[in-house]
Amino acid sequence: MNTTIPSEYYDENYIPGTTNILTGQQTELTSISSNKSLKRDKKGFVLIPQPTDSPNDPLNWSNPKKILQFSLLIFYTALTAATSNDAGAAQDSLNEIYGISYDAMNTGAGVLFAAIGINCWLLAPSVDLYGRKISYLICLAASVGGCIWFSVSRKTSDTIWSQLFVGAGESAAEAMVQVSICDLFFQNNLGSVLTLYIAATSIGTYLGPLIAGFIAQYQTFRWVGGWGAIITFVTLVVFIFGLEESSFNRQAHFKVFESSSINESQENIYNDEKTNKIDDSKLASDEEKGEFTNPTIVKSNLENYVSNVIAEEDKPKSYWRRISPITPAHNIEGFGFKQYGQRLLFNLKIFQYPIVLFSGLLWALQDAFLSFYLTSEDTTYYDPPYNKSNTGVALMNIPCLIGAILGCIFAGYISDLHVDWLAKRNGGVMEAEFRLYLLFVTLFISPLGLLLFGIGTDRDWPWPVMYVGLGLVGFGFGSVGDCSSTYSITSYPDLVLQSMVAISLINNLIACLFTFCCSIWLDASGTTNTYIALAVIDFVTIGLIIPFIYYGKDLRKHSKKSYIEMVEKLNEWK
């Protein structure tokens, strides 16, 4: 047994993602009276995770400080989402002036999606080894380089490879931001907080092309990349001096003093399970190896070590230490290259969980649909009978944005209230699947939006129909993005980084594939048939919430052993 994780994880009733919001325990049979000392919010719900008494614990930061740090994170999310979606505004100019084909621009978009997912995976180990902040600085620097390269594009290779760096610049927003958010806020408020995160993603995704359209029309296409580079560089400077490191060695604080299993776990190394007597042969064997001399000494040394770590962590950090670009882990070996490689491979183990795969698929298809309706806008609305200008087409992102924000609020803030209500009716026990219930609304709204926009576009219906359709599609984008992320995080709360890396890889690689095939599909099947097929795919995929609501808890129960093994390994590395 690894003693750095709660002993309740080894309770036979423990299931990942099942939590009693009244007791704070993750086993269903724990009494409320045994947990009176736990810290609670104003509603009486136990704070998860439990904050320490350290002034350096991000959970204890003042609200103004949390708001500032969170604002920086969501601004970075919105900015990189915008720069990743603004290249389309320069398409016509690049084709007309330099003869760069639209297919080449689609290839650039595919490279961008691949770069987001792959770089997210490649950067993930840095979060634990070198701190959260360094990944943001690397990504912002890559984004600056990509935007500058795109602004001076003259060849096909420029438009493709610049997107590699622009995509890499967004990668930290796919997983690292969620980790930082979990550092700052309690799990009880996760839905509401992630609402703002998904809203930032939506704002960047839809406002990016809109603003880029105005820039291309009034300042030439080169300023699309130029303004992106300027704003991103300023953001990089602000992050260097304003973003504080949020990594915190929480495990050390609870390792000895708040874990009743320390004595048991250390002594059981040598105890016979049946007689509970010390096994001298095991003790002698370990003494020969020089590993242990006595369980009591082991416990004493461990307590001394942890006390020193806690004492160091509890000293208020200076400003320069708080904004340090790199915060090495206390157990880093050399430069940490070997540990980095181990974590890269380890993070791929999360793909064994159907819940994570399902969450990734849900989010991926919403991104894939984005390629279709943006392509339809670019290929249809400039021509009769619509005859829209660049600005007119760009403004079609407004209903998507409105719908996405409403979807985020629905699946975030309202979902939090709904989950609390369901948990109270369930004796205080909250199941991860509670996060899926509100998607029954999206199950009908999102496919309807695709049908209204696609068929309406093809058959020249009145323009309000298409705009309403785009609003409903945006609602699906926001609500599915919020619910899928929250469901995965709630199911496996100790594997946030790994879950979000997997979702990012699934999301962006599927989006990459759809980028290459959307034009071919539209040309081969026609607009109406294509959007009918997309609506069916959307309905069936979101409809998978039904089996997950029924069998999700069983899936989590069956994953208990492997989940604990992964958590043990992570804590062994801390």
Q: What is the pLDDT of residue 371?
A: 86
- DSSP string for residues in 470-485: HHHHHHHHHHHHHHHH
Separation of CA 117 from chain center: 11
Single-letter code of the amino acid located at 317: K
Q: What is the pLDDT of residue 3?
A: 41
Strand partners, 431: 18
Instruction: Determine whether 475 is exposed, middle or buried from the number of CB atoms within 10 Å of its CB (0-12, 13-18, 19+).
Output: buried
Q: What is the pLDDT of residue 243?
A: 97
| Domain-wise residue ranges, the chain | 58-247+347-572, 255-326
pLDDT profile of the chain (574 residues), mean per 10: 61 87 56 55 70 84 94 97 91 89 86 95 94 96 97 94 96 93 80 83 92 89 96 98 89 52 43 44 48 52 58 77 92 91 95 96 92 86 85 89 93 85 90 94 97 95 94 95 90 92 93 88 94 97 97 95 92 80
Residues 6+ apart with CB under 8 A from 257: none
**Cα angle 62-250-6, degrees, rounded to a multiple of 5:** 125
Q: 363 with 479: CB under 8 angstroms?
A: no
Least Cα distance to 306 among 247, 251, 245, 260 occurs for 251
Instruction: Determine whether 417 is exposed, middle or buried from the number of CB atoms within 10 Å of its CB (0-12, 13-18, 19+).
Output: exposed
Q: What does the block give as tokens for 333?
A: 């070996």
Question: Phi then psi for 150, rounded to 5 degrees?
Answer: -65, -35
Output the CA–CA distances (angstroms, integers) from residue 465 to 394, 451, 503, 518, 557, in the order listed.
17, 10, 33, 23, 45
Least Cα distance to 484 among 206, 115, 192, 191 occurs for 191
- DSSP string for residues in 338-389: HHHHHHHHHHGGGGG-HHHHHHHHHHHHHHHHHHHHHHHHHHHTTSTTT---
Q: What is the pLDDT of residue 252?
A: 62
Secondary structure element (H or E) that encloses residue 459, with its range: helix 439-459
Helical spans, DSSP H, in 84-123: 91-98, 102-123
Single-letter code of the amino acid located at 191: G
- DSSP string for residues in 483-511: HHHHHHHHHSTT-HHHHHHHHHHHHHHHH
How far is residue 481's CA from residue 3's CA, in Å, rounded to a whole number?
35
State the Rg of the chain over Cα. Answer: 25
How far is residue 60's CA from residue 212's CA, in Å, rounded to a whole number?
40
Q: What is the pLDDT of residue 101?
A: 87
Q: 330 with 252: CB under 8 angstroms?
A: no
CATH of 58-247+347-572, one of 3.30.1740.10, 3.40.50.170, 1.20.1250.20, 2.60.120.200: 1.20.1250.20
